[in-house]
Chain A
């Protein structure tokens, strides 16, 4: 399998009133196409920031970041927008469905404009059927349960079959049973489409579903016990899976 993500000398820092703080400092790291990676680490450890760098939401300060053989490092904002639209699917804890659009329209929003009506309808129907929401695709998000809304968000992230899926606490606001269900669905769909899945989670039980569990401290050099005041990763992760990054 080829490398989907390649990182070399990646740095990201944020300015604050007392100066600049380095948040991400990664020497070398890579992930293969089709990998499913659970990114574990304490709150404030930079996991979400790393996800935003991967997604091109934040610009990179230093180093090399390649996704699908394309360098994200030197991209302008408009190029990062286009890159995200083409290569990245996002799933969030809070779903972020637009309340004014039906769930079908929320998904249609990411579909390319060139699709014909029949092709579009067929695609949408097959995806909504896949997640068991075919009958509810014309309803507003507010009419759906949280678990159903997250299923819609997964369709939106996956429908264009992007090679990279970034999920930030995708089950954080769901009950345990629904969370397992949703995480299982996400993993299954990613496996079917061969997408690389990078998921930030605090839930060790759910992390067990992933082939690769990665302690973010092991790849982010600016994370140390001295800096964070935290204990090594295994004991830092709550048994109940309750804290957010």
Chain B
């Protein structure tokens, strides 16, 4: 009979304790694994979130807020800037490409983003749409894959947008179709309306879905795209007062980026931000949060290791006579030690396998919801970075937890069998 059969029989015989121990390891590993997958999702999303647009220009305020709103569709814009800045930048010769963007309205919580359709070619190159075509005229929209799925939108559907970013109504929305002064005047009234009625629907302005984007694995999956002039049309803004919320710039050169930043950062009520720097700042803040979470998770891991230690100690003490018998029938100490440690390793390994499976199941099940709600995209079919280390550390903890009790018992001699 192999040692594994013996170990397996023991585990089956103490099924309740075995299940409890394996569950403790499973839950800990699953939580760790989910955390690592989410961390990867955040980092990967952040890294590719701004595409080739190294520089972003928007209204004065928080750099992080500007970048998060422009590229990740998180939070409200910092404010509005004049449309003429976009023309100036395009004609400066320092930018390879520059796109203006208008945001502020939404449909059932998904932001309606006004941007030139050429943005998609610059950012994603030539991709085939999931359905239909890119918008080209006012009132036409092309919907991001996740938003289309969540809102059940198909080509040919129509809807009316709501004023403000409904999902963040209490955070203060920006009315892109109004001047700063106008906006200030209306802010209290509109914010209150969003909170009471979950969005101030522009019933008179209908959008028609003309296309669905493919899955891009960026925040653009969660947005609805239309022409930049929708906001001005919705709010009947005259040409002289047209404003945009941000300008995304793919600089022509490093020097060009620097020159644009210096020039536009110096303007009143305008800031120019390096996308990478702002993203790095946000990631640093998130890293601190992750580290705190990691400490809590480490406590979970120690608790799981303690459960394993207690389970093995109790199991091994109960089996002292079995060990005596094994010695009597001539099994070597090495055999006994390997069986006892093997049991701890087997319990840990079972917990690791189930934990990884559970985390993937959870990631698969919650993936779309997480992405829609938070923009964090987890990849259940890939090993997250550091996940191999997680497996190694879990096995090591299992080994450490097993070695103590095993060493206490493996020296048991055959005479133990005859002692009361």
Contacts and interface: CB of A to CB of B under 8 A. Distances in A.
Contact of A109 (B12, B13, B329, B333): B329
A233 interface: no
B14 interface: yes
B325 to A, nearest CB: 5
B73 interface: no
B325 A101 contact: no
Given A78-B332, A82-B330, A85-B331, A96 B325 contact: yes
Interface string B327-349: 11111110000000000000000
B415 A108 contact: no
B259 interface: no
Which among A81, A84, A90, A113 has the greatest number of chain B C-beta atoms within 10 A?
A: A81
B388 interface: no
A84 B10 contact: no
B418 A98 contact: no
Contact of B13 (A83, A92, A100): A100
Interface in B282-303: none
Given A85-B330, A108-B1, A100 B321 contact: no
B173 to A, nearest CB: 66
Contacts, number: 60
A159 B360 CA distance: 49
Contact of A81 (B5, B9, B327): B327
A149 interface: no
Interface residues on A, range: 20 to 34
Nearest to A107: B1
A78 B328 CA distance: 12
B95 interface: no
Contact of B12 (A86, A88, A90, A100): A100
A85 B329 contact: yes
Given A57-B328, A78-B332, A85-B329, A105 B5 contact: yes
A230 interface: no
Interface of B: 1-2, 5-6, 9-10, 12-14, 321-322, 325-333, 413-415, 417-418
In the A-B complex, the 3 residue pairs with the closest CB atoms: A85-B330, A100-B13, A84-B330
Interface of A: 48, 52, 55, 57-58, 78, 81-86, 88, 90, 92, 96, 98-102, 105, 108-111, 113, 156
Given A78-B333, A86-B330, 10 more contacts: A78-B332, A81-B331, A84-B329, A98-B322, A101-B9, A109-B1, A109-B6, A110-B329, A110-B330, A113-B2
